Copies of this chain bind each other. A is one copy, B any other.
């Protein structure tokens, strides 16, 4: 907690202050825009940009992470709340904050339980598919606001403003940095400067609307933004805990995945180590903070964090400064914001989310592992066709299904002895000798519920191929673990082999595995013996196979 503050050096201050100013300027349009995506009044996005980063700075370990509203999490928030309350209603705002509270508690609990390994639940292609699906969904949803009417209709002045803003933003994204470099800025500063285009556009569009009186021509504007800091907010709706519980699990999970994937990329570039469980606590505290200040679920935003990094942030202080500046902006008069046209905010959203798209993952996966590419496309399609929650679940199941599938057919080798030695090798690869009546099988994977059926079926097939077998030795040198399901599988295999008149032996059982097996009834019930080495088993069983019968 606050590790960065203890060793703070004065030399870092300039970088942190500069980055703080830049991030604050990015946050004003982004916060308001993502509040709109979440179905909330724009000021909620500013609220969610003040307390959360302060709390993240207390507990989090990334020096560059910018915590606050984020497009995909806002989309998930809207999709959870839409069936429960009308957007814009007081209940909707209460439920949004409550969802942040629950998501925060989920994250805090995961951090305190130290289950940060959960970040490994999504494969990279599935995460990429999820991002693509969500981005397209968000962009598509914004078309109506961009054009001022539901497509295929449009409202002339709104569409002109929106499409104009879209064109300017795309141009700024593509040529802004180059232009600023030509004007004499060093490359990094030019990159950062180009990122401020949305803020400039917001200011410019307010001036245009004011000068031309566009709001009287039907262009929708955000209207009065209440001045003053957010008050302490403790309202919850008792009726909706249950409906929010499951979505909060999913949102907490996605907050963590999104935040970690961005923060890790930047941490690698700074040679910084992130503490996964501290990150969970930091994000959890940030979301609880968002609840307390009347916000909605928040997470680390890669686009802002990357700018924070490029703008010279050295420690979490830059995030603290950005938050304080946003607080200050709310204390100053906010009347000038009222004429901010919604089509322009929509344009910033569309450019931001389409900027998250990248084709490298799909292209690489398509060439390298077609199944991963299909999982990516299925997840993207799932988000688009079934919605964002179903998309997350589909992504989870595809990632995990791939794992189970990969593990469901472990390699099993028939072993023989290299003549004249005590070495035992796969008879398909080596010229190794076997003895009739004795079958040595080496299982090359840990045994667990996902493969135990396949292993026992495979063992029985090998017995069918070697009909004279009386002694079966499972060589467990590569088996690091045997779970409860596999234990039952081995007990059943033992019984089945007794019915077939075959004894089951184990060899080369690893120490920790054997210790655990001693806690079960397998070793007592085993029809054969446990051998220290395969050579022991070979020598003992080759001489004595007449001595035992059913």
Contacts and interface: CB of A to CB of B under 8 A. Distances in A.
Interface of A: 117-125, 246, 264, 268, 271, 361, 364-365, 367-369, 372-373, 390, 393, 396-397, 399-408, 411, 446, 448-451, 453-454, 480-481, 483-485, 487-488, 492, 496, 499, 516, 519-521
A120 B404 contact: yes
B368 A402 contact: no
28 contacts: A118-B401, A120-B449, A120-B450, A120-B451, A120-B453, A122-B449, A123-B448, A123-B449, A124-B488, A125-B485, A264-B453, A364-B521, A367-B519, A367-B520, A368-B516, A368-B519, A372-B484, A372-B485, A393-B393, A399-B449, A400-B400, A400-B403, A402-B448, A402-B483, A403-B448, A403-B450, A406-B448, A411-B480
Interface centre among A123, A372, A393, A449 (most CB of B within 10 A): A449
Nearest to A480: B411
A405 B408 CA distance: 17
Nearest to A390: B246
A257 to B, nearest CB: 11
A399 B487 CA distance: 15
Contacts of A516: 368-369
Contacts of A120: 404, 408, 449-451, 453-454
Contacts of A121: 401, 404, 450
Contacts of A487: 364, 368-369
Contacts of A407: 403
A510 B487 CA distance: 31
Contacts of A399: 449
A484 B124 contact: yes
Residues of A contacting B: mostly: helix
B403 A484 contact: no
A268 B118 CA distance: 37
A307 to B, nearest CB: 21
A477 to B, nearest CB: 12
Contacts of A124: 449, 484-485, 488
A481 B368 CA distance: 12
Nearest to A487: B368
A302 to B, nearest CB: 15
Contacts of A402: 448, 483
Given A123-B485, A124-B449, A484-B123, A117 B404 contact: yes
Contact of A364 (B123, B125, B488): B488
A209 to B, nearest CB: 41
Given A123-B483, A368-B484, A484-B123, A408 B520 contact: no
A506 to B, nearest CB: 16
A364 B488 CA distance: 9
Contacts of A483: 123, 369, 372, 402, 406
B484 A365 contact: yes
Contacts of A118: 401
A120 B404 CA distance: 8
Given A264-B453, A402-B483, 15 more contacts: A117-B405, A120-B451, A123-B449, A123-B484, A246-B390, A268-B496, A364-B487, A368-B484, A368-B519, A369-B516, A373-B484, A399-B449, A403-B403, A403-B448, A406-B448
A411 B481 CA distance: 12
A372 B369 CA distance: 33
Contacts of A480: 411
A297 B372 CA distance: 33
A517 to B, nearest CB: 8
A488 B364 CA distance: 9
Contacts of A268: 492, 496
